[in-house]
Chain A
Amino acid sequence: MLSSESLIQIDREVAKYPPNNKQSAVMSALRIAQIEKGWLAPETIEFVATYLEIPAIAAWEVATFYNMYELKPVGKYKLTVCTNLPCSLMGAQSVVEYLQDKLGIGFNETTSDGKFTLKMSECMGSCGEGPLLTINNHKMRVQLTPAKIDEILAGLE
């Protein structure tokens, strides 16, 4: 269900905890699974749960609690824009409008070619560099301007 590379990574996370506490690695394991699959389908969650020897519902609880886990398919690139106060003061609203115009989608929508999904988020703790967005939860791009956005989008194959 998951590739052996992912399983090796999960094993590395599991090893960080005492032997009887495999469940402690559930957040990391779900994150790793999401990187491989793009989103967390119920079967993926169930697989992770079985792998960690916990009930499926326990993993599902975690997956539904945090909103960086995707429970529905998303585009190849998920762009998450912070819309909290500091970013808004720095022009997050125009970033959002520019992105929506350019991609032709609203929040929580995916372009018809399946390439981009747009999401809004709360503060990412980098207020000094707003407005900003993340790509697939893992890469952050800061001090956004329309030109910079064009450049970022062009760089995403």
Chain B
Amino acid sequence: MANIEMDGKALSVPDGSTVIDAADAAGIYIPRFCYHKKLSVAANCRMCLVEVEKAPKLLPACATPVMEGMKVQTRSPKALAAQKAVMEFMLINHPLDCPICDQGGECQLQDLAVGYGKGGSRYQEEKRVVLNKNIGPLISTDMTRCIHCTRCVRFGQEIGGIMEMGQIGRGEHSEITPFLGHAVSSELSGNMIDLCPVGALTSKPFRYKARSWELKHTASVAPHDSLGSNIEIHSKNGTVLRVVPRENEEINQCWLSDRDRFAYEGLAAKDRLRRPMIKQNDVWRECDWQYALDFAVHALQALKEKHGAQQVGALATPQATVEELFLLQKVMRGMGSDNVDFRLRQSDFSADAGLQGAPWLGMAVAEVSKLDSVLLVGTNLRADHPLLALRLRQAAKHGARVSLLNPLDDDLFMPLAAKAIVSPAAMAETLDQVRRVLAGETVSGDAQKIAANLQQGESKAVLLGNLAQHHPQFSELHSLAQQIAAACGAKLGFLGESANSVGGYLAGALPAAGGLNAGAMLNNAPKATILLGVEPEGDTYNPAQAMAALRSADLVVALSAYKSPTLLKSADVLLPIAPFSETSGTFVSTEGRVQSFAAAVKPLGEARPAWKVLRVLGNLLALDGFDYDSSEQVRDVALTGAVSVKLNNTLKTLKPLSKVTHGALQRVGDVSAYHADAIVRRATSLQTSHAAANNARMNGALLSSLGLCEGVLIKVSQGEGSAELKAARDDKLPDACVRVAAGSAATATLGGLFDEIKVERA
């Protein structure tokens, strides 16, 4: 610790901290533009000049380390004069167009100009003008306003992992730009909007929608991955206009993924369901709640009478809240059925019997940044878990060894210590090789290297990603990962797929006494099936099969926020429910953190929070225990007792490695990031950003052996279903694999994510 004096206050601050850190900790405000606590120090704006005793000149507080006995004055006449002079320089070329600038009201330059600027400008000459850049559908640019703090540049280099913006030219001719007309493609790009202290980079979807002071702020939790990122929903007149991060050092820090930031556009999609609808004689018509509920209840009861309770079942999206999932399973169990599940994209449930708790990350999110060695198994990490990727990137920067066992080799923007890129069918076998090396055997190749990396370091983890969890040999991968973790002293963890992948377990929304799991129900649907927020074409392991199964059911009651075309085909009753922004609820994140949130806006039209709909359904079905007054009451019943004891990744019984036979070509069906759930599928700006591109990718060898070339239209088919996609070349893919991402309408007709696939010229 160093003892210093700042503005007359005696402070004791950790050695190595800078004057600006010390000031921030002591609540003394030093003006700044280029400094940001999560970025490296550039010290290029000079706004933070302070006076330090015995120093001949003023020093930039952000780049000056504290020293024992240092005496700093942040507001002495000399310091203030310098800060004001810097401000005057800053405003020379900055347009004074606050009234038409979207940043107005939340602009650091505007704020500081009030404190340090003059009433008028002495500058009479012409101002400089910089052409705007088109950097994609998410970020709007107004580069004349740029003050060259280089925060956006450093963000790319240090946080995003790829430098997409740079400063070209010199002096007066400096410009911030991406390389020649490139759009920024980072899945974290929206953070540059927050970082930019002026109106140079602003949100394109939010452009000219509202002034910051008109917005109502509601604290909430991001629903698009399992991290539980803290967000703030900004709304005006009952419409969500934007989403920004709410700082939480233990979870998302100050960052937010583009998916969590821009998916809100899907909340206002044209096909939002506003009124209940029923289908009679194949004709859909709108009706009131009473009628729809009576219809649903009578039909449910009649089918139960006729076929027994085991012909009643329910499926839910893992994006549903704990309250909703709890009440859904309660309705099912009240009706005497154990058929309920939320693991819609899982295909192998054989480990269920061995589970001793809810699979979870196995550690706190913050611990991920401190890992020394980690093995990632089956994950499209940047797409599925953008902020966990960021944490791992930080760990890798500090020397962590990251290994990857995966069918995909997309750039993770971090150095990999070892990797084995193999077909889905070979994943379990390769993982078994790693296990064998750790057990003392020698094998050749990548597994040896992966094992060697796992043997180093103190804090280690084996993490199973979405691809592993959707994999047809999930239970084997789980068993092997468990053995590997045990052998090298690593933690075993799951990168939960969705907002409530852990919460669903805690709420009991899965079969407990021999009932049907999601795989079984989506193969052969119960005669009467309730869907909660499920879009079978995009949310399931095998969309073609799921749609056929639902169509063959006698009754499908769908609680949905959207009037999706497939539900119109397969359902009989549509009940409009509120998405997360319009209801109170709770998510349990992948680290087991319970986070409740309130509704930001009122439900659209006649939509109602799903927990209320399920409560009414329970009452109309004359079931006991549906007299909750608030979602908090539901939550307290659903989550009694400590959560931590209910989290467990260890299987009681291990599943032995099986021999797999597979067809000539295997599909690698990752879920495309911007098609992962019903809301984001409808977020128009994300859809036009290039990450949404959908084609059939394979390596050059496979392309030429099939007589195809890049860019041609091909027909891919699985079973009955087929789709026409463009062929694309990706030499990083393993042999005999065709990567066709799932989730979008283009691939909704296809079958299982990792099943056999056929390719021919269209």
A, B: real partners? yes
State whether the Cβ of B179 lies closer than 8 Å to any Cβ in chain A.
yes
In the bound complex, do residue B169 and residue A65 qualify as a contact, i.e. CB atoms below 8 Å apart? yes
Question: Interface digits, A48-82 against B, CB 8 Å rule (1 contact, 0 not)?
Answer: 00000001111011001100000000000000000
State whether the Cβ of B166 lies closer than 8 Å to any Cβ in chain A.
yes
In the bound complex, do residue A55 and residue B162 qualify as a contact, i.e. CB atoms below 8 Å apart? yes
In the bound complex, do residue A57 and residue B169 qualify as a contact, i.e. CB atoms below 8 Å apart? no
Task: Give how many A residues have a beta carbon under 8 Å from the other chain's beta carbons.
Answer: 10
Partner of A58, one of B163, B169, B182: B163
State whether the Cβ of A11 lies closer than 8 Å to any Cβ in chain B.
no
Closest residue on chain A to residue B168 by CB atoms? A64
- List the B side residues contacting A42 at CB < 8 Å: 179-180
Most buried by A among B162, B164, B178, B180: B180
In the bound complex, do residue A46 and residue B179 qualify as a contact, i.e. CB atoms below 8 Å apart? yes
Task: Give how many B residues have a beta carbon under 8 Å from the other chain's beta carbons.
Answer: 14
A61 to B170, CA, bound (A): 9
- List the B side residues contacting A57 at CB < 8 Å: 163-166, 168, 177-179, 182
A57 to B167, CA, bound (A): 8
In the bound complex, do residue A65 and residue B170 qualify as a contact, i.e. CB atoms below 8 Å apart? yes
A69 to chain B, nearest CB (A): 11
A61 to B166, CA, bound (A): 7
- List the A side residues contacting B177 at CB < 8 Å: 57
In the bound complex, do residue B170 and residue A55 qualify as a contact, i.e. CB atoms below 8 Å apart? no
A111 to chain B, nearest CB (A): 27
A123 to B169, CA, bound (A): 20
In the bound complex, do residue A64 and residue B179 qualify as a contact, i.e. CB atoms below 8 Å apart? no
In the bound complex, do residue A61 and residue B167 qualify as a contact, i.e. CB atoms below 8 Å apart? yes
In the bound complex, do residue B179 and residue A60 qualify as a contact, i.e. CB atoms below 8 Å apart? yes
In the bound complex, do residue B164 and residue A55 qualify as a contact, i.e. CB atoms below 8 Å apart? yes
- List the B side residues contacting A46 at CB < 8 Å: 179
Contacts A42-B180, A46-B179, A56-B179; is A61 near B168 (CB within 8 Å)? yes
A61 to B165, CA, bound (A): 10
Interface residues of B in 678-714 (CB under 8 A from A): none
B148 to chain A, nearest CB (A): 12
B452 to chain A, nearest CB (A): 21
Contacts A42-B180, A55-B179; is A60 near B168 (CB within 8 Å)? yes
- List the A side residues contacting B169 at CB < 8 Å: 64-65
A125 to B739, CA, bound (A): 59
- List the B side residues contacting A60 at CB < 8 Å: 166, 168, 179-180
A61 to B176, CA, bound (A): 10
A58 to B165, CA, bound (A): 9
A64 to B169, CA, bound (A): 5
Closest residue on chain B to residue A55 by CB atoms? B163
In the bound complex, do residue B170 and residue A64 qualify as a contact, i.e. CB atoms below 8 Å apart? yes
Closest residue on chain B to residue A65 by CB atoms? B170
Interface residues of B in 146-187 (CB under 8 A from A): 162-170, 177-180, 182
- List the A side residues contacting B162 at CB < 8 Å: 55
A90 to chain B, nearest CB (A): 28
Interface residues of A in 62-113 (CB under 8 A from B): 64-65
B297 to chain A, nearest CB (A): 60
Contacts A42-B180, A46-B179; is A58 near B170 (CB within 8 Å)? no
- List the B side residues contacting A58 at CB < 8 Å: 163, 166
- List the A side residues contacting B167 at CB < 8 Å: 61
A134 to B180, CA, bound (A): 31
Closest residue on chain A to residue B170 by CB atoms? A65
Closest residue on chain B to residue A57 by CB atoms? B166
- List the A side residues contacting B165 at CB < 8 Å: 57
A25 to chain B, nearest CB (A): 17
Interface residues of B in 176-221 (CB under 8 A from A): 177-180, 182
Most buried by A among B168, B179, B180: B179
- List the B side residues contacting A61 at CB < 8 Å: 166-168
A57 to B169, CA, bound (A): 12
- List the A side residues contacting B164 at CB < 8 Å: 55, 57
A58 to B169, CA, bound (A): 12
- List the A side residues contacting B182 at CB < 8 Å: 56-57
Closest residue on chain A to residue B169 by CB atoms? A64
- List the B side residues contacting A64 at CB < 8 Å: 168-170
A55 to B161, CA, bound (A): 11
A25 to B249, CA, bound (A): 38
Closest residue on chain B to residue A71 by CB atoms? B168
B133 to chain A, nearest CB (A): 12
A42 to B162, CA, bound (A): 19
A46 to B163, CA, bound (A): 14
A57 to B181, CA, bound (A): 11
A157 to B169, CA, bound (A): 33
A46 to B182, CA, bound (A): 12
A42 to B168, CA, bound (A): 13
Interface residues of B in 479-520 (CB under 8 A from A): none
A64 to B164, CA, bound (A): 16
B360 to chain A, nearest CB (A): 36
- List the A side residues contacting B163 at CB < 8 Å: 55, 57-58
B393 to chain A, nearest CB (A): 16
A65 to B169, CA, bound (A): 5
A61 to B182, CA, bound (A): 15
B64 to chain A, nearest CB (A): 27
B475 to chain A, nearest CB (A): 40
- List the B side residues contacting A55 at CB < 8 Å: 162-164, 166, 179
A128 to chain B, nearest CB (A): 28
Most buried by B among A42, A56, A57: A57
A35 to B164, CA, bound (A): 28
B720 to chain A, nearest CB (A): 44
A55 to B179, CA, bound (A): 9
B716 to chain A, nearest CB (A): 31
- List the A side residues contacting B170 at CB < 8 Å: 64-65
A60 to B179, CA, bound (A): 7
A40 to chain B, nearest CB (A): 12
Question: Interface digits, A31-46 against B, CB 8 Å rule (1 contact, 0 not)?
Answer: 0000000000010001
- List the A side residues contacting B179 at CB < 8 Å: 42, 46, 55-57, 60
B298 to chain A, nearest CB (A): 63
A105 to B165, CA, bound (A): 37
B136 to chain A, nearest CB (A): 15
A55 to B178, CA, bound (A): 10
Closest residue on chain B to residue A64 by CB atoms? B168
A60 to B163, CA, bound (A): 12
A42 to B163, CA, bound (A): 17
A65 to B177, CA, bound (A): 14
A127 to B177, CA, bound (A): 38
For this complex, 20 residue pairs linking A to B, each with C-beta atoms less than 8 Å apart, are A42-B179, A42-B180, A46-B179, A55-B162, A55-B166, A55-B179, A56-B179, A57-B164, A57-B166, A57-B168, A57-B177, A57-B179, A57-B182, A58-B163, A58-B166, A60-B180, A61-B167, A64-B168, A65-B169, A65-B170
- Apart from A57-B166, A60-B168, A61-B166, list 7 A-B contacts with CB within 8 A: A55-B162, A55-B164, A55-B166, A56-B182, A57-B165, A57-B178, A57-B179
Closest 9 pairs between A and B when the two form their complex, measured CB to CB:
A57-B166, A64-B168, A56-B179, A57-B179, A55-B163, A61-B166, A64-B169, A65-B170, A42-B180
Residues of A near any B CB (own CB < 8 A) = 42, 46, 55-58, 60-61, 64-65
Residues of B near any A CB (own CB < 8 A) = 162-170, 177-180, 182
